[in-house]
């Protein structure tokens, strides 16, 4: 916690010294930069203290390829306890705090997995837990999504051009990472993670790769300009983008190098910290736990073994030390996301790592009768499970699937390793920051500070008056969102409409297509006069599609086509509006979530590991329209099943029909379903390359790699329609009852704070 007046004084001094201006004369970027610098000065002592305390006692490191932090400036001011006062001070000086919203979101992540990592750091710092985050500092991150015509186009996300105000380069902690045919320098950039209402400041350490030999003067002199910078580019390419295209071996090698640099630089750093505290190497597992966030950082295991053996530890002992140090989190049941690297590629990365992996494979076969390398490819997930003391899934149902479907052989051998840690989200960003109006309302009823301890919410009585107040807050947030949509997306969404929102990465298993087909179905019924009692409803869908994922991109085309058709049809646009929200990211989420009435969580049962978007929406008073999947189950159990709209086949039912499922029969039998599916090809939507047609084929005929409709869109179509109509009608007929359901969700959301999750990691896994 810092003093706002002192922070403001420094801010003024910095503006004057650097730009000769007063706050009211500063551009947004000047103001953002000076505020960040002033905050770093004011919190400098606290950060230094936390940093030097980190390795004194047992501590944990969280390695992740992604940290989706979201915009930092307002959250940092909130956590430092000065947001309100800074607002007042800036207003008094004639500057406007809302211009701080021009700070770019750091492009350091992709979706839920990266956002979870960011929530965890926030919670750990707020609870004074010694946790350090390790990641990579991507120059361009993922991509910025543009809509060209009806389709997604990708542009580089140049977030670093002016807004890297929160990282501190620590040249003195740079390390060398040996690759097969060259060596790169990894330089850490540290970002502070301010705890809420505490002096603890955590650290997110992001590695940037650089060349040891920036520039070849002789080549340059010899007019070979491109060759002169070859080394520089080759090194810097490694942290240029998040998830480089991996269609060919060149791209795959680049990804592998990224993962190795992250793993190696981090393990070198942790060993150095340990040795600096004057302890013997062999004590490392007593002082350090390393959490591997999915398989991307799993090379940290052979790398630790390499570093230990280099320092004289025997291979076997190093293996035991590694197994006592690492813990692994699995995030997905999608087989394509469980990384397997060919040993040939590993050979191109590093001979030493290749040799260690082969020895580990032999050891696993000898000890457990299970292989790590199959058909010449090493399975990173199997390696992680074999060499970790803890393996966890991220929601109750998912952790069961981890045991029974993903790693049944390992589970038989080491049942004690397997555990569940249901995800959570930080209420600092996802309540206090994005919804101060609801926060104030709850705070007026709560016993204690719910932003420090979200558990306070369970003590609030859900009465009719509070439900009414929630409805008013909702309306206000819808007005704000509506204005933002008009400004940024150019669409009109009246705030009197029900807001039905699905925001997440576009993926077949998340079934945005089910949502879109359902919208078409409702549209046609309204148009034909068959659905006279539909209350005005706006369908908002947002999310990025992976650049190489044709079907996900086709879904975006279909949603945009629906939007164009429906929003321009004056016979229905008083009842239905559709909006594809461009460039979904944290900052967009912060606008969308508080305004949602219905939270679309419609993944095929058994496919969404947990979901965290569902938790953010619940916390902000949206009712879940969802399947019995991931954390939806725990959300429904916490708030009461009668307070959600649950639909669709459950996992047991899908298992039972898997072999006999015949979507074509459903299509032929059900005219309504046929009308919706046929709209992909027959509604006159532009489809030059046949991507919409291919979506239809995927549902009815399948493809070489899957059976027809492998995510059961057609199967759940009818029950989805029924559940959605039931929700919309309840809102229309009895808004007070709907709002009471929403309120019960808010008040039950305490257990979905990432503070609860982190407390469990600390106690049950890290022992810190
Ligand atoms: C929370 C969040 C996600 C994860 O959403 P799910 O619905 O759980 O997939 C993805 N992206 C952003 C920007 C988020 O804030």
Mutate which of 511, 541, 612, 614 for ligand 1? The one with the most ligand atoms within 8 Å of its CB, which is 612
Other Cβ atoms within 10 Å of 88 Cβ, number: 12
Report pLDDT for 222: 73
Which atom of ligand 1 has the smallest separation from the CA of 510? 9
What is the rounded distance in angstroms from the CA atom of residue 57 to the CA atom of residue 133? 17
Nearest-angstrom CA–CA distance, 441 and 753: 18
Residue in the block written with tokens 């045991």 = 403
What is the rounded CA–CA span in Å between residue 17 and residue 24? 15
Q: Which residue owns the Cα nearest ligand 1 atom 9?
A: 504
Examine the residue annotation and report whether 505 is marked as an active-site residue of this protein. Answer: yes
* Atom in ligand 1 nearest the alpha carbon of residue 425: 1
What distance in Å separates the CA atoms of residue 299 and residue 282, rounded to the nearest whole number? 20
**Distance in angstroms (rounded) separating the CA atoms of residues 299 and 487:** 45
Catalytic-residue membership of 422: no
Strand pairing report for 183-194 and 598-601: unpaired
For ligand 1, atom 10, the nearest C-alpha belongs to 111
Q: What is the pLDDT of residues 568-616, one digit of tens each?
A: 999 999 999 999 999 999 999 999 999 999 999 999 999 999 999 999 9
As given in the structure block, the two tokens for residue 8 are: 């403001």
Place of tokens 């002192």: 6
Closest ligand 1 atom, residue 543 Cα: 11
- Contacts (Cβ under 8 Å, ≥6 apart) of 64: 113, 114, 117, 133, 134, 135, 293, 294, 296, 297
Cα gap 291→272, rounded to integer Å: 18
Q: Provide the 3-class DSSP secondary structure of residue 311.
A: coil
pLDDT of residue 162: 63
Domain 427-650+712-748 CATH (choose: 3.40.50.2000, 3.60.20.30, 3.40.120.10, 3.30.70.360): 3.40.50.2000
Beta bridge partners of 538: 499, 577
Distance CA 34, CA 20 (A): 12
What is the Å distance from ligand 1's center to 643 Cα? 22
663: closest CA among 650, 651, 676, 652? 676
- Give pLDDT, residue 335: 85
Q: Is 87 a catalytic residue?
A: no
The question of whether 331 is a catalytic residue gets the answer: yes
Give the CB-side neighbour count of residue 139, counting CA atoms within 13 A: 14
Who contacts 118 (Cβ-Cβ below 8 Å, separation ≥6)?
67, 68, 69, 70, 109
pLDDT (tens digit per residue) in 689-748: 999 999 999 999 999 999 999 999 999 999 999 999 999 999 999 999 999 999 999 999
pLDDT reported for residue 215: 67
CA separation for the pair 324, 58 (Å, rounded): 13
Closest residue to atom 1 of ligand 1, CA basis: 613
- Selecting among 203, 422, 439, 612, the annotated active-site residue is 612
Relative to the CA of 611, which ligand 1 atom is closest? 8
Q: Find the residues whose C-beta lies inside 6 A of ligand 1.
A: 111-112, 115, 504, 585-586, 589, 611-613, 616
Which of 421, 510, 511, 544 is an active site residue?
Answer: 510
* Nearest one of 573, 728, 740, 747 to 643, comparing CA atoms: 740
Reply yes or no on whether 504 is catalytic: yes
Confidence (pLDDT) at 158 = 84
- 24 is a catalytic site residue: no
Contact (CB, 8 A) for 349 and 260: yes
Nearest C-alpha to atom 3 of ligand 1 is from which residue? Answer: 112
- Please report the DSSP string for 49-68 in residue order: HHHHHHTTSSEEEEE-S---
Alpha helix ranges (H) inside 192-328: 217-221, 225-228, 230-236, 249-276, 284-287, 300-310, 315-325
What is the token pair recorded at 350? 């590093």
In which residue ranges of the chain is pLDDT below 50?
Answer: none
Instruction: Output the CA 545–ligand 1 centroid distance in Å.
Output: 13
SS (H, E, C) 132-172: EEEEECCCCCCCEEEEECCEEEEECCCCCCCCCCCCEECHH
Q: Where, residue-wise, is CATH 3.40.50.2000 in the chain?
A: 427-650+712-748
Among candidate residues 139, 185, 616, 715, the one labeled active-site is 616
């Amino acid at each position: 916690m810092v003093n706002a007046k002192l922070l403001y004084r420094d801010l003024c001094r910095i503006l004057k010294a650097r730009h000769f201006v007063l706050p009211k004369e500063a551009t947004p970027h000047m103001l953002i930069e000076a505020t960040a610098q002033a905050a770093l000065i004011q919190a400098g002592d606290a950060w230094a203290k936390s940093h030097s305390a980190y390795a004194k006692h047992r501590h944990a490191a969280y390695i992740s390829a992604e940290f989706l932090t979201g915009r930092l400036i307002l959250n940092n001011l909130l956590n430092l306890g000065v947001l309100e006062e800074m607002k007042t001070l800036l207003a008094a000086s004639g500057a406007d705090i809302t211009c701080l919203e021009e700070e770019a979101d750091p492009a350091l992540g992709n979706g839920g997995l990266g956002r979870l990592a960011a929530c965890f750091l926030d919670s750990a710092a707020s609870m004074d837990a010694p946790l350090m985050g390790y990641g990579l500092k991507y120059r361009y991150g993922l991509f910025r999504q543009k809509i060209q015509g009806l389709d997604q186009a990708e542009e580089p996300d140049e977030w670093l051009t002016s807004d890297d105000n929160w990282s501190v380069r620590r040249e003195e902690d740079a390390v060398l990472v040996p690759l097969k045919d060259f060596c790169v320098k990894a330089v850490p950039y540290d970002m502070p993670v301010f705890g809420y209402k505490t002096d603890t400041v955590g650290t997110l350490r992001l590695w940037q790769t650089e060349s040891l030999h920036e520039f070849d003067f002789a080549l340059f002199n010899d007019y070979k300009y491109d060759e002169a910078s070859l080394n520089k580019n080759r090194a810097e390419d490694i942290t240029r983008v998040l998830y480089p295209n991996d269609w060919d071996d060149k791209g795959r090698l680049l990804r592998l190098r990224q993962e190795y640099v992250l793993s190696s630089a981090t393990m070198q750093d942790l060993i150095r910290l340990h040795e600096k505290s004057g302890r013997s190497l062999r004590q490392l597992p007593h002082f350090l736990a390393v959490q591997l966030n999915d398989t991307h950082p799993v090379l940290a295991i052979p790398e630790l073994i390499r570093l230990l053996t280099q320092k004289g530890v025997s291979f076997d002992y190093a293996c035991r030390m590694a197994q006592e140090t690492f813990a692994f989190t699995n995030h997905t049941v999608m087989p394509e996301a469980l990384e397997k690297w060919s040993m040939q590629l590993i050979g191109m990365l590093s001979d030493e790592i290749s040799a260690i992996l082969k020895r580990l494979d032999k050891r696993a076969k000898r000890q457990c009768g299970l292989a790590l390398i199959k058909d010449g490819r090493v399975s990173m997930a199997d390696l992680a499970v074999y060499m970790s003391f803890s393996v966890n899934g991220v929601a109750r149902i998912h952790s069961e699937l981890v045991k029974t479907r993903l790693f049944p052989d390992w589970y038989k051998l080491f049942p004690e390793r397997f555990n569940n840690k249901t995800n959570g989200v930080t209420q600092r960003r996802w309540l206090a920051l994005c919804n101060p109006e609801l926060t104030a309302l709850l705070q007026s009823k709560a016993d204690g500070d719910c932003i420090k301890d979200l558990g306070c919410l369970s003590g609030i009585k859900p009465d009719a008056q509070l439900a009414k107040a929630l409805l008013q807050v909702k309306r206000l947030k819808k007005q704000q969102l509506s204005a933002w949509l008009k400004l940024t997306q150019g669409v009109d969404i009246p705030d009197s409409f029900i807001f039905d929102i699905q925001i997440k990465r576009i993926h077949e298993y998340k079934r945005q297509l089910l949502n879109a087909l359902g919208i078409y179905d409702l549209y046609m019924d309204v148009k034909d006069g068959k659905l006279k009692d539909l209350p005005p409803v706006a369908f908002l869908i947002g999310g990025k599609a992976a650049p190489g994922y044709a079907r996900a991109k086709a879904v975006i085309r279909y949603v945009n086509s629906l939007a164009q058709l429906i929003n321009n049809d004056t016979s229905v646009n008083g009842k239905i509006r559709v909006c594809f929200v461009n460039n979904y990211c944290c900052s967009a989420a912060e606008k969308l979530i508080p305004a949602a009435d219905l939270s679309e969580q419609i993944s095929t049962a058994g496919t969404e590991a947990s979901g965290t978007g569902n938790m953010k929406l619940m916390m902000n008073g949206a009712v879940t329209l969802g399947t019995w999947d991931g954390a939806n189950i725990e959300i429904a159990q916490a708030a009461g099943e009668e307070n959600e709209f649950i639909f669709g086949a459950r996992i047991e039912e899908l298992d039972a029909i898997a072999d006999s499922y015949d979507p074509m029969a459903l299509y032929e039998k059900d005219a309504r379903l046929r009308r919706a599916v046929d709209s992909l090809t027959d509604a006159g939507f532009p489809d030059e390359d046949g991507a919409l047609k291919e979506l239809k084929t995927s549902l009815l005929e399948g493809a070489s790699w899957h059976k027809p409709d492998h995510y059961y869109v057609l199967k759940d179509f009818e029950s989805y329609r029924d559940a959605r109509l039931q929700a919309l009608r309840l809102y229309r007929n009895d808004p007070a009852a709907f709002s009471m359901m929403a309120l019960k969700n808010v008040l039950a959301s305490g257990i979905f704070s990432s503070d609860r999750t982190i407390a469990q990691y600390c106690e049950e896994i890290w022992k810190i």
